[in-house]
Amino acid sequence: MSAETESQNSEPQKTVRLWDFPVRLFHWALVIAIVTSWWSNQEVMIDIHALSGYSVLALVLFRIIWGFVGSSNARFSGFLAGPARVIGYMRKLPNGSVHDLTYPGHNPAGGWMVVVLILLVAIQAISGLFTSEDTFLFFDGPLVAYVSSDVASTMNFIHHTNINLIYAAVALHVLAAIFYLMIKRENLIGAMITGVRKVPESMATGFMQIRFASPVLGIAILVVCGLAVWGMVTLAR
Better-predicted residue by pLDDT, 136 or 202: 202
Query: Do 74 and 105 form a contact (C-beta atoms < 8 A)?
Result: yes
Better-predicted residue by pLDDT, 2 or 71: 71
- Residues 167 and 113: their CA atoms lie apart, in Å, by 13
What are the tens digits of pLDDT across the range 6-30? 445 567 889 999 999 999 999 999 9
Q: Phi and psi at residue 173, in whole multiples of 5°?
A: -60, -45
CA nearest neighbour of 218 among 43, 75, 23, 72: 23
Residue ranges of alpha helices (H) inside 1-133 are: 3-10, 21-42, 46-69, 76-79, 83-92, 98-101, 108-129
Whether 194 maps to a domain, the answer reads: no
CA torsion 61-33-196-203 (nearest 10°) is -60
19: helix, strand or coil: coil
Whether 207 maps to a domain, the answer reads: no
* CATH number of the domain residue 96 falls in: 1.20.950
Whether 199 maps to a domain, the answer reads: no
Read off the pLDDT of each residue in 192-221 and give the average, rounded to a whole number: 94
Whether 182 maps to a domain, the answer reads: no
Query: Do 111 and 80 form a contact (C-beta atoms < 8 A)?
Result: yes
**pTM for the whole thing?**
0.91
- Residues 8 and 97: their CA atoms lie apart, in Å, by 8
Q: Please count the structural domains in the chain.
A: 1
Whether 14 maps to a domain, the answer reads: no
Whether 179 maps to a domain, the answer reads: no
Stated as kind and residue range, the H or E segment containing 214 is: none
Whether 185 maps to a domain, the answer reads: no
- Domain that includes residue 111, residue range: 21-171+218-236
- Write down the pLDDT at residue 56: 98
What are the tens digits of pLDDT across the range 76-108? 999 999 999 999 999 988 887 787 778 999 999
Read off the pLDDT of each residue in 138-154 and give the average, rounded to a whole number: 90
Whether 13 maps to a domain, the answer reads: no
What are the tens digits of pLDDT across the range 169-200? 999 999 999 999 998 888 999 999 999 999 99
Query: Do 1 and 194 form a contact (C-beta atoms < 8 A)?
Result: no
By DSSP bridging, strand 132-133 and strand 196-200 are: unpaired
| Residues facing residue 139 across a β-bridge | 133
